[in-house]
Amino acid sequence: MKYFSLPLAFTTIGLSLIANTAYANKPPAPELSNAQLQQCLNSLKNSSKFRGISNYTFEQYRPNQPDPSVIQSLNYQPEFQKDVWDYLSALVDKERVDDGIRAKHQWADTLRRIEARYGVKPEHVLGVWGVESNFGQTLGKKPLFDSLATLSCFDRRQTYFRGEYANALKIVQNGDIHANDMTGSWAGAFGQTQFMPSTFLELAVDFDGDGRRDLVNSVPDALASTANFLVKRGYRRGEPWGYEVKKPANYWGESNRRNKKSMNYWRNQGFTLADGRPLPYDLSQAALIMPAGQNGPAFLVGKNFDTFYSYNASENYALAIAHLSDLLTREDSSKTDFITAWPTDDPGISRQQAKDIQQALLNAGYDIGTVDGIIGDNTRSAIQQYQSSHGIFPADGRAGQKFYRAIMNSSTNNAPSRSSLRQPNFQQPTRYGQYTQPASQSDRMAQLIESQQGYRRVVDADGRIRLVRVDKGH
Ligand code: CA
């Protein structure tokens, strides 16, 4: 690993990408009044939204107390602060591709029947399943009624969550899903498809024929419901989601998923597939997206990409599904990168590498909670402390390939790392990840620049990291 600093003297020709990867504190869990919750529930019970829910159902699943952690989560959405390469490297790693290949063979017959009925390519169904619930392995453990009741009575978006609370009660009252199985994400998405209750009522189907739409326990129900979701959002039978492409040298167009053009338009502009082959003829219209700007991977995406997008309203999320589906089509987990590299010299890590980092941090005496392969607040905080005490810059709490190599080297050699010899005179964190720096140190922080290919990584005084595109000559 190589850490060096340069004086603050360079010419930028434009701010291409701003990414806040600095460690962000989760807001503390609020104190919620149970009296307020119970009073709120009393009035909800008699409101129009809950018409059709019997008094018996409502009272049977009525929470005893609010769950403050869901309000905490409501006001904290870390995925919007991650670099796209960090996001994708965790969602589409070798492990998930291998799991997906196994699932593809195990459920081949079901997937064929689903394709026959809905016209959705098996790998597209698998892509959603893999990203949403890790092929049914990660369903979320929060009791849905506690979460949704709390979200219905406190903080933002109460109207929306009241609808979802009523719908969740309807699902149990209808007998589709057992109340004990109604657990999920903090926001109320549940089951192998991670549908919200309203989506469940609109789109879930019974595909195994037992008369219940059980998206928790029945894989055929979950996969067919996913296919039904994609079809209802406009999926086009026989079309790919899109392709990774190569831009012509002097093309500087915008990244805009909604700006769809004919494939002839893109051919005439000089676009090819990323490996140089000509663009195929199996996509009717496509738009150009460049998730990391002009110098990163580029994609032409069609209508079926939009159906992935409608699952979670994030292009990076849709790209994870799309990319995973391609790797499952090829049945090859040996290389999970795109053909064009991300514009960084410090790419993201897999979940296995995240686990390795967590284990190394535990071994070094840092409290990161459990080794789960998820770089959450505790792990980021521990990384930031490790970085600052070992002289690793920037001390941003980010787990990339460089940090992975640094901590793996130092834990296998069991000797002081070279960088620790240059340990700067930083103040220790006052609290997890919180620094107070004298002005002169802030100035020095701002001057720590790491050169990258075509980019410089600039650390602002407040810890924010910017990738600034620079002239090759400077
Ligand atoms: Ca069923």
Max CA distance (Å), the chain: 74
Q: Which of 232, 250, 266 finishes a domain?
A: 232
Q: Residue 266 corresponds to which tokens in the numbers above?
A: 């893109």
**Spatial CB neighbours of 92, under 8 Å, sequence gap ≥ 6:** 320, 323, 324, 327, 336
Residues 221 and 298 in one domain: no
Q: Is 168 among the domain residues?
A: yes
- pLDDT for the residue 25: 55
Distance 96 CA to ligand 1 centre (A): 26
pLDDT per position as a tens digit, 162-190: 999 999 999 999 999 999 999 999 999 99
* Residue 123 falls inside a structural domain: yes
**Shared-domain flag, residues 202 and 74:** yes
Residue ranges for the chain with pLDDT beneath 50: 1-24, 79-80, 414-474
Q: If you measure from the C-alpha of residue 376 to the centroid of ligand 1, how many angstroms do you get, rounded to a whole number?
A: 35
Q: Ligand 1 centre and the CA of 220: distance in Å?
A: 8
Same domain for 221 and 168: yes
Cα–ligand 1 centroid distance for 225 (angstroms): 10
Which of 348, 460, 387, 277 is closest to 89 using CA atoms?
Answer: 348
Tell me what pLDDT residue 23 has.
42
Residue by residue, DSSP assigns 64-80 as SS--HHHHHHHT--GGG
pLDDT for residue 77: 56
Residue 272 is predicted with a pLDDT of 98
How far away, in angstroms, is 221 Cα from ligand 1 center?
5
Give a yes or no: residue 97 inside a domain.
yes
Tokens representing 222 are 């979950």
- Domain hosting 362: range is 351-470
Last residue of a domain, one of 232, 251, 266: 232
Shared domain for 370 and 265, answered yes or no, is no
56 and 205 fall within a common domain: yes
Q: Let me know how many helices (H) and strands (E) the chain has, helices first.
A: 18, 11
At 312 the pLDDT is 87
- 318 with 424, same domain: the answer is no
| Ligand 1 centroid to residue 359 C-alpha, Å | 41
Same domain (yes/no): 246, 228? no
- Does residue 376 fall inside a structural domain? yes
Query: Does 68 share its domain with 89?
Result: yes
pLDDT score recorded for residue 187:
94
Cα 184 to ligand 1 centroid, rounded to whole Å:
19
Interval between CA 313 and ligand 1 midpoint (Å): 28
Are 61 and 92 members of one domain? yes
CATH of the domain at 259: 1.10.530.10
CA 331 to centroid of ligand 1, rounded, Å: 29
Count of domains for the chain: 3
Residues 156 and 97 in one domain: yes
**Shared-domain flag, residues 146 and 209:** yes
Q: How far is CA 258 from CA 45, 255, 297, 305, in A?
A: 42, 9, 18, 11
From the CA of 150, how far away is ligand 1's center (Å)? 30
What's the length of the chain? 474
Residues 248 and 224 in one domain: no
| 64: its two tokens | 């005893």
State the distance from the centre of ligand 1 to the C-alpha of 21, rounded, in angstroms.
43
Final residue in a domain of this structure, among 213, 232, 251: 232
Please indicate, yes or no, if residue 336 is contained in any of the structural domains: no
Is the residue at 179 inside a domain?
yes
Whether 345 is covered by a domain: the verdict is no
Q: What local confidence, expressed as pLDDT, does residue 383 receive? A: 94
